[in-house]
Amino acid sequence: MPTSKSEFDSRKPFSGSRALVALAIGCALGAAVAYFLKVLIENTPAEIDILRLRLFYLMVIASGGLGGFAIESMRQLQEDASDPIYRHQQAQRVKR
């Protein structure tokens, strides 16, 4: 537990802009995966309704964005946690 109030004040607050950048990067990666799936599906003999395909691509892109947002949010929250159990274990290891 922190012993002084200044330790709380010295921490950086949650950065929403970093989380939004992670969301954009996740959406970009999701769009790349969706494009790969689009090319793959176009080269198969399957007949799939275009509306279903568009919704599928939207789901893949949104999943990528949500994943990026969740990872960055959890990283920031874990970094700001005052309880040591939420800290990274690698930071506590001793180098030999």
Identify whether 16 is part of a domain.
no
CA–CA distance, 57 with 15 (Å, rounded to integer): 29
Q: What domain count does the chain have? A: 1
Identify whether 13 is part of a domain.
no
Identify whether 18 is part of a domain.
no
> How much is the pLDDT for 35?
97
Identify whether 4 is part of a domain.
no
Mean pLDDT per 10-residue section of the chain, whose length is 96 residues: 53 82 96 96 92 96 96 86 68 56
Identify whether 74 is part of a domain.
yes
Segments forming the whole domain that contains residue 61: 25-92
> How much is the pLDDT for 88?
62
Identify whether 88 is part of a domain.
yes
Identify whether 10 is part of a domain.
no
Identify whether 66 is part of a domain.
yes
> How much is the pLDDT for 70?
95
